[in-house]
């Protein structure tokens, strides 16, 4: 009986392979043959954190719609991606529940239920609106750009006129401190203390390590309880920051607020995803400038000639409206080295759609010479259209609610540090303008893409020499 049973199993398996390859509704969509019958190649790249480069290569070979698994297709067209994200008709895939952690209260990002996402956005939209960001800008700058300048000035005082600093860790510490200042009641001050524990806990939480998640949950719970206790004991009105707006939030349709687990899940999302996205974005921007010296010279000249007095902090509004080349540098970096280049899944009745912002940003039909860092793309009469094609913060009904906070942090940090310091790659830098590809452009530092895409081995690849300008 064993052989007939085994033969039947093999026959069924072969039949399934034949069906997926030749008779599935996806059979006509181009892609590697192995991907048509198995998800193994796709899963292998996801485990390696290399989906972003894998998808770009597949789309370059097969076009804007590629079959990347027996039940998955990938899109690299910005218009198609916008269509998928325009409504809740295409629900988020199972991957999002896994990101959130089984048994954990889903956040606005990890929930797969449209009604939950809509309710959270109604409740929390005001906490991240432009007028709220204007109100908390001083908190952001104090914990962000100003604190980073204090830390780097201290390094220069200790090391001499030229200090060697790791900008990856500096930017991630700064981003965590900013989230702490606006959403947890006070800065975590890790730029000052250089305590890397919380950075490790955040990365471990993204990788679903339970012990680190518990530590982050405790930090979140303590912040909420401390704020409520201070208000209760002093009777004074609370500081109206992002944390307080989340505590006060009510759904205008139902009048309900966030339950304690829901509030914790949203604050954890801000801390884990928000700080890593901002820190990685700043890292890639500085790396791209260091690898493209002419762009670095132009952006520093623009900033220093427009705002020559270092005693004056450059505000977000001034940076956005008076520094067009800095803006172009930021958007071009978010295009060519997007921190959100990993796979985002959406369900359809039978198969799944994978959205690859990295592939969209490297689509040669939309971007001329997509592998070249060229901020000029975002200058001129069509700059607004170009900016709208950068999907780092997603688009449509699932657009990142924290994008205003992220851009406030990014613009103010870059404008102020690029004015104050001269940046130079160390002589032993493994990547830079001295290391060119066969096409004559600087070789990119490889990226590692899980929840956020960052450079591999930042302990070696993200050093810079700084001195006062």
Q: Which residues pair with 353 in a beta bridge?
A: 73, 346
Q: Give the helix ranges, DSSP H, for 399-462.
A: 403-420, 458-461
Kindly provide the b/e burial profile for residues 8-46, where b requires at least 16 CB atoms within 10 angstroms of the residue's own CB: eeeeeeeeeeeebbeebebeebebeeebbbebebbeebb
Q: Which of 218, 415, 219 is nearest to 305 (CA)?
A: 415
DSSP string, 308-349: --TTSPPPHHHHHHH-HHHHHHHHHHHHHT-TT-SEEEEE-S
Q: Can you state the angle between helices 197-206 and 210-234, rounded to 10 degrees?
A: 120
DSSP 127: G
- Token pair 């524990």: residue: 197
246 annotated binding-site participant = no
Separation in Å, CA 29 to CA 22, 40, 139: 10, 18, 50
| Pairing status of strand 65-69 against strand 72-75 | antiparallel
> Positive or negative, the Cα torsion across 131, 415, 454, 332?
positive
Distance CA 369, CA 363 (A): 9
Kindly provide the b/e burial profile for residues 329-356, where b requires at least 16 CB atoms within 10 angstroms of the residue's own CB: bbbbbbbbbbbbbbbbbbeeeebbbbbb
The three-state secondary structure class of 436 is: strand
CB-based burial label for 2 (10 Å; 0-12, 13-18, 19+): exposed
Distance CA 456, CA 447 (A): 5
> Positive or negative, the Cα torsion across 46, 52, 57, 62?
positive
Q: SS3 helix, strand, coil % of the chain, rounded to 5?
A: 60, 10, 30
**Pair 286, 423: CB distance under 8 Å:** yes
**Pair 292, 342: CB distance under 8 Å:** no
> Positive or negative, the Cα torsion across 272, 278, 282, 284?
positive
142: how many CB neighbours lie within 10 A of its CB? 16
The pair of three-digit structure tokens given for residue 169, joined into one six-digit string: 């860790």
Q: What residues are designated binding site for heme?
A: 400
Q: What residues are designated binding site?
A: 400
């Amino acid at each position: 009986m064993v052989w007939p049973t085994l033969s039947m199993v093999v026959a069924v398996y072969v039949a399934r392979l034949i069906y997926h390859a030749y008779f599935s509704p996806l059979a006509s969509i181009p892609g590697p043959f192995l991907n048509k019958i198995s998800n193994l190649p796709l899963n292998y790249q996801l485990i390696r954190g290399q989906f972003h480069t894998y998808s770009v290569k597949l789309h370059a070979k097969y076009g804007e719609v590629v079959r990347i698994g027996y039940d998955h297709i990938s899109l690299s067209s910005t218009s198609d991606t916008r269509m998928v994200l325009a409504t809740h008709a295409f629900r988020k895939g199972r991957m999002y529940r896994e990101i959130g952690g089984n048994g954990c209260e889903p956040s606005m990002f990890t929930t797969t239920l449209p009604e939950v996402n809509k309710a959270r956005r109604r409740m929390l939209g005001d906490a991240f609106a432009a007028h709220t960001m204007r109100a908390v800008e001083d908190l952001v700058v104090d914990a962000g750009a100003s604190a980073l300048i204090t830390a780097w000035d201290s390094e220069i005082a200790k090391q001499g006129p030229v200090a060697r600093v790791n900008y990856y860790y500096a930017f991630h510490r700064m981003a965590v401190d900013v989230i702490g200042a606006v959403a947890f009641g006070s800065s975590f001050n890790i730029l000052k203390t250089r305590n890397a524990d919380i950075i490790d806990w955040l990365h471990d939480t993204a990788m679903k390590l339970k012990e680190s998640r518990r530590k982050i949950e405790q930090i979140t719970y303590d912040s909420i309880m401390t704020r409520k206790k201070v208000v209760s004991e002093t009777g004074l009105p609370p500081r109206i920051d992002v944390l307080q707006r989340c505590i006060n939030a009510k759904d205008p349709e139902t009048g309900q607020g966030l339950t304690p687990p829901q509030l914790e899940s949203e604050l954890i999302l801000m801390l884990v995803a928000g700080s890593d996205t901002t820190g990685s974005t700043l890292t890639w921007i500085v790396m791209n400038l260091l690898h493209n010296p002419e762009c670095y010279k132009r952006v520093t000249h623009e900033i220093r000639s427009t705002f020559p007095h270092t005693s004056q902090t450059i505000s977000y509004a001034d940076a956005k409206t008076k520094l067009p080349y800095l803006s172009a540098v930021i958007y071009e970096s978010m295009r060519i080295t997007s921190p959100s280049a990993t796979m985002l899944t959406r369900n359809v009745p039978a198969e799944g759609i994978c959205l690859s912002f990295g592939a969209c940003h490297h689509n040669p039909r939309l971007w001329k010479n997509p592998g070249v860092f060229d901020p000029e793309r975002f200058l001129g009469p069509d700059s607004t259209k170009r900016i709208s094609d950068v999907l780092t913060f997603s688009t449509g009904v699932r657009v990142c609610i924290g994008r205003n906070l992220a851009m406030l942090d990014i613009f103010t940090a870059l404008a102020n540090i690029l004015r104050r310091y001269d940046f130079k790659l160390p002589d032993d830098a493994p990547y830079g303008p001295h290391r060119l590809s066969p096409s004559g452009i600087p070789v990119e530092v490889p990226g590692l893409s899980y929840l956020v895409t960052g450079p591999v081995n930042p302990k070696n690849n993200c050093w810079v020499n700084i001195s006062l300008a």
